[in-house]
Structures are given as structure tokens and as C-alpha cells.
Amino acid sequence: MNTRLFTFAGGETGVWRIVRMETVAGEPIPSAARLDIIPGPISQEPHGAKWLLRGITSNERYVVREEKDHLVAKQPGLSRPEAVCAALIPIRKNASWWGLPQDERRKVFEEQSNHVKIGLQYLPAVARRLHHCRDLGEDEPFDFLTWFEYAPSNEDAFNKLVTELRASPEWKYVDREIDIRLLREPA
Amino acid sequence: MNTRLFTFAGGETGVWRIVRMETVAGEPIPSAARLDIIPGPISQEPHGAKWLLRGITSNERYVVREEKDHLVAKQPGLSRPEAVCAALIPIRKNASWWGLPQDERRKVFEEQSNHVKIGLQYLPAVARRLHHCRDLGEDEPFDFLTWFEYAPSNEDAFNKLVTELRASPEWKYVDREIDIRLLREPA
């Protein structure tokens, strides 16, 4: 069985060195030097962890067939040797968002915000894995954790991507967001 | 904060007496005499529990604005004094279902199966609370737990409702289903 659950542990260990943490909206999280990504359920907290963020990959919530086919055709996998830059972006959306019926969330997500259309422009440069947190339990600090990997030469493109998304109507519903940038640099 | 997480504990305690357990599809679960419904996270397993099924209420996945407004207008709350009959129906859907993009799942759910349209015909007789399990973790035995409450005079109607849904195209994707019927009868 493929692992769907991942724990992102910010602390003193892990192959990813944290180079910047920016609080885009809402409460910050403690700063940390390194990030470890642990697949599957964890039996004990990693040594020296400042925070643990858990998320689970799941079915698509908004993407329609045509978009899915485009995404599948263009999206690269994680762990490409050249993709030594990464971003972990935990996001929480507000109660108005979650109170909207499916068709209205979809409308904001794509017809108004072009979330997929924008994302497709940055493929295959940027690899991405989306983790859901909202239904893991009642007390999760974020609704989503998105993990991105790209080569240093694509850093400007990645910055453009997040700037475009943050300017979209969908982001009016985001009430907490942290932008964590990392470099693959085994200690 | 309202509780979203619930544990359904089958065993020897709880105000609900289990009168029948039928395995509709897939593996059965052990039989039990009573059901306890525990809101919020549980710190220790209830005494004598034969099984624990956890689920979390969440945002709608398929319902559009018009349907949501009809549902909100017609659906009763739980715990009506006359609604002493209940059903707990745990369901799992197969990998083909979860691999479909959003528009195709919606099409099967409503345009082909009339899931909401059928459900609306049984309101306000039948109260319902849907709990999601699939994204609670990797090892959940079911994807959904639906809890229904109705008066004894509406039992035939409730049976008709589940028969209609089970005959719909959506149910071709259901690979595990248990139908547990209960009576509110404090010990």
C-alpha cells in the first residue's frame, strides 16, 4: 500500500535545511533549522522537533476530467536530482469557505481564480504534493500542507506562481498561511 | 467549538440497543449488543468494546447551492424524542471511485443516482449525520459512517430509502457496507 499520511517535522534533523520562514497570514509557527518528512504513522516524536504538521494525500476535490488529464500528463514526480529547492506552505481557510456548497467553492477555485490553469503554466518545472489536514481530526492547525520541489533556476518562476495565487479571489478565504523555503542539504 | 469527531463503539454499553447487523457487502464486523456514541477524541477504549468506528463531520463534497438550501430547509436535527429507531451504515468505496475526478464523481452521485433527490423525499422523516473516515488516517476500515434516526412509523420509509440508494449506479462503487439497526433503550 502506498503511504498517504506524512508528518513534516521542523527541528534539528532531516535532509532539508530551512532557509526562510515567512508568516503570510495568521499566527506564526516556531522557527526551526531543518525539516524531516516522515511517511506513515509515527510512533514517537522525532528528537528536537519544534513542530509536527501532519497531512494525508487524498482524492481531488475540484479538478474535472480534462484538467486531471492535463495535470497527469505534465506533472513531474518528487525527488528529481536537480530539484534541490523546496517550499512547504501550510494553509488554513476560514469558516465561510467551508460553509460554501461544492459548486460555489469550485467557482471560486477555478472559474474566478484559475487555480489549475495557473498551476499548469508552471509544469513540469514545479513538482507538487498536496496533503489534507482538515479531516484528520478536530484540532489541526492547518487545512492543507502543500509541498513543492523545483530547481534553483526555477525559483523566480515559483515565486511568480505563489504571488499569482495569493492575488486570486480564492485567497480571500485563507486566514493562515506560512511560507517555508528549503534546500536539500544533507547534514 | 462544535464537536466534529465521533466514535461509534459497539460493545456492551450505550443507550442504543443493536437489534440487527447485516453485512451488505465485503467483510463483516463482530456482532455487539449495544452502541455508544462518543463525541470528541477518546483517551481510552470504552470497556468491553468489540469495535470502534471513528468519523468526522466535514464540508459537503457534492451538494450544490440549490440542493443545500433544500436540505437545510427540510432536514430535522438528531435526538427527536419520537425518533427511537436508528441505523448506522458504514460504507467503503473502491479505488475506481476515488480515482475519478470531481465532475465524474458528482455525475454518478446525482445526475445518475439522484442521491440528494432521493434523500430529500424522506425528509423530515429521517434525520441524518454523515461522518467521513477516509482522511482520518491510512488504515480506516470504512470511508463513511452515516447515522440515521427516525420514528418507528417511518421504518418502512427508511427501508425504501436504503433500497433505492443501493440500486443506484453510485452503489456499484461500494465494496463494503454494514447495515446496523438500533433502538433507543437505555439499559
Over the Cα atoms of chain B, what is R_g?
A: 16
Asked, for residue B75, whether it belongs to a domain, the answer is yes
Using a CB-CB distance cutoff of 8 angstroms, which residues of chain A are in contact with residue B98? 59
In whole angstroms, how large is the CA radius of gyration of chain A?
16
Task: Evaluate whether residue B11 is within a structural domain.
Answer: no
On whether residue B133 sits in a domain, the answer given is yes
Mean of the pLDDT values across residues A52-78?
97
pLDDT at B2: 78
Q: Which residues contact A176 (CB under 8 A, 6 or more apart)?
A: A25, A26, A27, A90, A91, A92, A141, A142
Give Cβ neighbours of residue B53 (< 8 Å, ≥ 6 apart).
B7, B8, B10, B88, B90, B133, B141, B142, B145
- Bin A114: left if φ > 0, else alpha if -120 < ψ < 50, else beta: left
B27 part of a folded domain? no
Q: Most A CBs within 10 Å: which of B38, B102, B143, as the mutation test of the A interface?
A: B102
Q: By the 8 A CB rule, do B47 and B26 touch?
A: no
Contacts of B95 in chain A (CB under 8 A): none
| Secondary structure (3-state) at B156 | helix
- What is the band of A175 on the pLDDT scale with cuts at 50, 70, 90? very high
Structural element, H or E, at residue A11: strand A5-11
Over residues A114-172, the pLDDT tens digits come to 999 999 999 999 999 999 999 999 999 999 999 999 999 999 999 999 999 999 999 99
DSSP letter at B142 equals: -
Place of cell 439522484: B114
Residue B114 lies in a domain: yes
Question: Are A135 and B103 in contact (CB < 8 Å)?
Answer: no
Those residues with Cβ within 8 angstroms of residue A173's Cβ, 6 or more apart along the chain or in another chain: A93, A94, A96, A97, A108
Yes or no, beta carbons of A102 and B4 under 8 Å apart: no
Asked if the C-beta of B57 comes within 8 angstroms of chain A's C-beta atoms, the answer is no
Nearest to B104 among A61, A65, A100 (CB): A65
Contact A102 B56 (CB under 8 A): no
If you average pLDDT over residues A67-86, what whole number do you get? 97
Give the percent of chain A with pLDDT over 70. Answer: 99
Mutate to test the interface with A, among B64, B94, B103, B145 (most CBs of A within 10 A): B103
**A65, B1: Cβ pair inside 8 Å?**
no
Task: State whether B132 and A132 contact (CB < 8 Å).
Answer: no
* A104/B41 Cβ within 8 A: no
AA letter at B24: V
Domain count, chain A: 1
d(CA A38, CA A172): 31
| The pLDDT of residue A46 is above 90 | no
**Cβ of residue A99 closer than 8 Å to a chain B Cβ:** yes
Q: Which residue in A has a C-alpha nearest to residue B2's C-alpha?
A: A138
B59 touching chain A per CB within 8 A: yes
Please report the ipTM that was assigned to this predicted complex: 0.94
In angstroms, the CA A81 to CA B19 distance is: 59
Grid cell 518528487 is found at A78
B110-149 core/surface letters (b: 16 or more CB in 10 A; e: else): beebbbbebbeebeebbbbbebbbbbbbbebebbbbebbb
Nearest CA in chain A to B42: A137
Cβ neighbours of residue A93 closer than 8 Å, sequence gap 6 or more:
A143, A173, A174, A175
For chain A, what is the mean pLDDT?
96
CB distance from B1 to chain A under 8 Å? yes
Q: Which residue has the higher pLDDT, B46 or A61?
A: A61
Residue B28 domain flag: no
Residue B95 counted as domain residue: yes
Q: Show the domain range for B156.
A: 56-184
C-alpha distance from B98 to closest chain A C-alpha (Å): 6
pTM, entire model: 0.96
Locate the chain A residue with the closest alpha carbon to B71.
A101
CB atoms inside a 10 Å sphere around CB A115: 21
Task: Give residue B169's identity as a one-letter amino acid code.
Answer: P
- Would you give per-residue pLDDT tens digits along chain B (187 residues)? 579 999 999 999 999 999 999 999 999 999 999 999 999 999 888 889 999 999 999 999 999 999 999 999 999 999 999 999 999 999 999 999 999 999 999 999 999 999 999 999 999 999 999 999 999 999 999 999 999 999 999 999 999 999 999 999 999 999 999 999 999 998 7
Size of interface A-B (CB pairs under 8 A): 78
B27 vs B176: CA distance, rounded Å: 7
Classify each residue of B62-77 as buried b or exposed e, where b means 16 or more C-beta atoms within 10 Å of its C-beta: bbbeebbebbeeeeee
Sign of the C-alpha dihedral computed for residues B55, B56, B62 and B65 taken in this order: positive
**β A85-93/A34-39 pair status:** unpaired
- Would B144 be classed as within a structural domain? yes
- We report the CATH number of the domain holding residue B141 as 3.30.70.3420
* Interchain proximity B102–A58, CB inside 8 Å: no
